[in-house]
Amino acid sequence: MRVLVAMSGGVDSSVAAALLVEQGHEVMGATLKLWGGTSDSGCCSVADVEDARRVAQQLDIPHHVFDMTEAFTRSVVDPYVEAHAAARTPNPCIECNRHIKFDRLLERSRRLGFDALATGHHAQVVAARGVRQLRRGADPEKDQSYVLSMLGQRQLRRIVLPIGTMTKDAVRAHAARLGLRTARKPDSQDVCFIRRAEGRQGFLASRLAMHAGSVVEAGTGDVVGRVDALELLTVGQRRGLGHDADGNRRYVIGVDVAKRMVTVGSLREALVDHVALVPTSVTWVDRPLASGAAAIAQTSAHGRPVPCTIELDGTTPLLRFPSRQRPVAPGQTVALYDSADPDVVVGAGIAA
């Protein structure tokens, strides 16, 4: 089988490529140039490209760099800025997977004559009953099924995830046995197009107008403070908001940029019994679940899975929880898992 491996310069994609070579496949490595600006984090730095190239040399496979900066800016960076301007909290890594890795790169692999695209994600693609299941990775601490939850059968039939059955320790041990230069390289944790020195605030401040606003108590409507930048707040956030008169920590309940106002309340006031999804954002791994079906919702990469019921009868899809939960920030992805097999992803949507 001819396999194109997306090599980010990290240990996971390095070992993914190594395993495919060991299995006898014809392998080529590809590193994506995504961000046209400077980068010192994530998977877009010059050092990461060099690490990927050197690992490819160690494995004796060809390696190429594909320039997708224009598509990345249009599909990931610009929407990231626009979302913050509207007081939404986007997930750029998921949008990169949706629009770049498993759309443009997957299509390029097909045009180049490859049978499959491989990545170093900690998740599993399993053939079952004539369809492809997307399952959690074997290492619960590193599971990345959440950030792949928007994938469907079209993509999954052409994707290989070689390290999905391995723990992170096993991945590093395999890299060390092969003497790969990435064996001890730390995992990337940051948004790749934001430099550590500037942070999210610095990045956004150079691209959109920041607006100060009033802090208003949910229960009383009283103005209890001010914030410098509404666009940097996230629903559910508690840091930097102080305490109410009873000593309870305040949480962001809502942000209204147009009214220059953020509503805050106690944890009890912030909890919700449902989350609405953007109708056009809902995707299914295979077939849609019926309205009223049970599922398990996960609202962040390593968030706690919680049971829910799906309501699809109205104009806005809803996920209802049997007990009140922390709020889901608008713009965040909610991954849905099978209620009968919580390791199996069934779909995803973006919180409205």
Residues with a catalytic annotation lie at: 96, 192
CA distance 168 to 136: 14
Which pair of structure tokens corresponds to residue 97?
A: 């997977």
How many CB atoms sit inside 10 A of residue 168's CB?
17
Q: What is the H or E stretch that residue 190 is in?
A: none
338: left (phi over 0), alpha (psi -120 to 50) or beta: beta
CA distance 118 to 22: 14
Question: Nearest to residue 40, comparing CAs of 190, 187, 184?
Answer: 190
Give 169's contacts (C-beta < 8 A, 6+ positions apart). none
CA distance 67 to 183: 26
CA distance 60 to 83: 43
Angle formed at CA 133 by CA 114 and CA 130, multiple of 5 degrees: 80
**DSSP string covering 274-327, please?**
EEEB-GGG-EESSSPPPTT-EEEEE-STTPPPEEEEEE-SSSS-EEEEEEEEPP
CA atoms within 13 A on the CB side of 231: 19
Strand, helix or coil for residue 235:
coil
Which pair of structure tokens corresponds to residue 27?
A: 């392998």
Whole-number Cα distances in Å, 176 to 43, 55, 117, 187? 21, 12, 24, 15
